[in-house]
Amino acid sequence: MTAHDLCAGLLEFLSASPTPFHATQALAKILQNVGFEALNEHDAWQLKPGGRYYVIRSGSSLVAFVYGEKPLQESGLRIIGAHTDSPCLKIKPSPERNCKGYSQLGVEVYGGALLNPWFDRDLSIAGRLSYVDTQGELKSTLIDFVKPVAYVPSLAIHLDREANDKRSVNPQTDMNVILQLGDSQQDFREILKQQLNNPQVDEVLDFNLCCYDTQPPAIVGMQEEFIASARLDNLLSCYLGAVALAEAPVTHSSLLICSDHEEVGSRSDVGAQGPLLSEVMDRLVDTNEARQRMLRRSLMISADNAHGIHPNYPNRHDDQHSPLINRGPVIKFDANQGYATSSSTAAQVRWLAKRGDVEIPLQTYVTRADMRCGSTIGPLTAAAIGITTVDIGLATFAMHSIRELGGVSDLKHMRALLGRFLSCDVLPPSDTA
């Protein structure tokens, strides 16, 4: 895949993925297109050595794997982990509000969203809903309004003279989105039913919907070196993981897990603290001992974006650990295990980066000692499964904003690193001493 194709593919994937449900579907499509077969958790799996498969749980988490020709307990599993969810505004269960002649929807904030950038955007609505069809069956479907149908206007500066100095946002009172002008309090479920435009739909029962920015992803910068888009955290890593897995060799086994709910702590049936990965592993090997032997030969790369040093706020970083956009994947360290990286797993990544014809540039990140570190699915998965893990990611700006900024040439660096990882025949042991 050329650098140009990689970037074009990412932009297409980001546009197709306004919600974790859509992202999961788009990932499945990428894998299906290269021959991965869908598995269902209800069925018994007949895995063939050299086969390539994926399974989706609850519509928003995906596990895909190459079931290698070599026994897993001898060759281990190369795992890439990422997450499908991003901070956003979620529509409340009974969202209808009417104020001063405007029909609005009440929203909840999902995850640690940076709220100010959500004002004055052309928002649309997407997600999943459940309905009863005309036969009385319970069904679910994805929905995307596509066009901008909602808006949260800022308050004019004349009505809040202190806005530039001390504007804070109250998510309960300030973020309700305006849908339309009109006194009638139209049932939102009726609006959804009209949008579905499917004669089989009798009644919409429930929904999991969020607002998203309709501005498409773009390449920006004088040298066209940046990617501006919503949800780079962490669809960027999901996409690069899927592309790497699609081209992984079938001699040994590799796995990609993209799970929902990372932004809210991963505690769910589909989240990284849930049993999804462990349950898939149980189906890959016959015995508990084989599973333990496999795990001890395995490595997980937890891929999630890193904070690039911002030229307007350079003192928010430690001088020696200030990653730049487009200068290669960042190995993320935290002495307090906010990231799962250890000196030996970091060394494994450095070893991989040096292993091919061209050395892949790497950077390191550690949060300032007087600031609090974020976290990822890395330590959670390491703790739940007992798998040796390293946290890496690409440098971005504006993490958790409605629009984030990443780097074009970083795509090929990360793609190359993940490719080397998945094609590595024998992983070096992480703990020889």
- Residues at the interface with Zn ion (CB under 5 A): 233-234, 304
Nearest distance, CB of residue 134 and Zn ion, angstroms: 41
Nearest distance, CB of residue 374 and Zn ion, angstroms: 8
Would you say 307 or 415 has its CB closer to Zn ion? 307
Over the chain, what HEC string results?
A: CCHHHHHHHHHHHHHHCCCHHHHHHHHHHHHHHCCCEEECCCCCCCCCCCEEEEEEECCCEEEEEEECCCCHHHHCEEEEEEECCCCEEEEEEEEEEEECCEEEEEEEEECCCCCHHHCCCCEEEEEEEEEEECCCCEEEEEEECCCCCEECCCCCHHHCCCHHHHCCCCCCCCCCEEEEECCCCCCHHHHHHHHHCCCCEEEEEEEEEEEEECCCCEEECCCCCEEEECCHHHHHHHHHHHHHHHCCCCCCEEEEEEECCHHHCCCCCCCCCCCHHHHHHHHHCCCHHHHHHHHHCCEEEEECCEECCCCCCHHHCCCCCCCCCCCCCEEEECCCCCCCCCHHHHHHHHHHHHHCCCCCCCEEEECCCCCCCCCCHHHHHHHHHCCCEEEEECEEECCCCCCEEEEHHHHHHHHHHHHHHHHCCCCCCCCCC
Nearest distance, CB of residue 395 and Zn ion, angstroms: 13
Nearest distance, CB of residue 88 and Zn ion, angstroms: 13
Nearest distance, CB of residue 401 and Zn ion, angstroms: 13
Nearest distance, CB of residue 365 and Zn ion, angstroms: 14
Would you say 118 or 339 has its CB closer to Zn ion? 339
CA distance 33 to 246: 9
Would you say 304 or 391 has its CB closer to Zn ion? 304
Would you say 201 or 238 has its CB closer to Zn ion? 238
Side chain identity, residue 259? S
Nearest distance, CB of residue 392 and Zn ion, angstroms: 12
Would you say 304 or 404 has its CB closer to Zn ion? 304
Would you say 150 or 272 has its CB closer to Zn ion? 272
Q: How many residues does the chain have?
A: 433
Nearest distance, CB of residue 28 and Zn ion, angstroms: 21
Would you say 152 or 210 has its CB closer to Zn ion? 210
Would you say 233 or 391 has its CB closer to Zn ion? 233
Would you say 258 or 424 has its CB closer to Zn ion? 258
Nearest distance, CB of residue 234 and Zn ion, angstroms: 4
